[in-house]
Amino acid sequence: MTSLFAQEIRLSKRHEEIVSQRLMLLQQMENKLGDQNKEKAPQMQTTETALQRNLSLLKDIEAAEKSLQTQNHPVPPPEVASLEVRILRNKCKRRDPQKKRRKRGSSVSSALLFTGHQ
């Protein structure tokens, strides 16, 4: 019986040591976590500030883009519009004869190539 009682006392002391060591380790972990949070606080503040700045810039860019899309573009004077139409007509007229010549002349030009004449 006394040996069981002595063993119970040893186990009880060992249990108290383990619980004491556990409490000490928990306290160290809490202190370390608190220190890490203190170190990260300025970084989190910087990140939050950067996020707010970026959102503000994005809103400004979107507003500028919308403003540019909705701006009225000035109508060119009639002389410029008339000149543009004439230029486009001339370009179209120049292209048509070339297409017709190529279609008509394709068999002739290939025959000339075979004979060596150009």
The yes-or-no verdict on residue 93 having pLDDT over 50 is: yes
- For 118, residues 6+ apart whose C-beta sits below 8 A from its C-beta are 112
Q: What is the pLDDT of residue 99?
A: 60
Based on the fold, state whether residues 65 and 83 are members of the same structural domain. no
Condensed to tens digits (0 to 9), the pLDDT of residues 57-86 reads 999 999 998 888 777 666 778 888 888 888
Based on the fold, state whether residues 67 and 80 are members of the same structural domain. no
Domain that holds residue 63: 1-72
Task: Report CA-CA distances (Å) from 32 to 28, 39, 45, 50, 104.
Answer: 6, 11, 20, 27, 90
Q: What is the pLDDT of residue 76?
A: 74
Model confidence, pTM: 0.39
Q: How many domains does the chain have?
A: 2
Based on the fold, state whether residues 47 and 11 are members of the same structural domain. yes
Based on the fold, state whether residues 17 and 44 are members of the same structural domain. yes
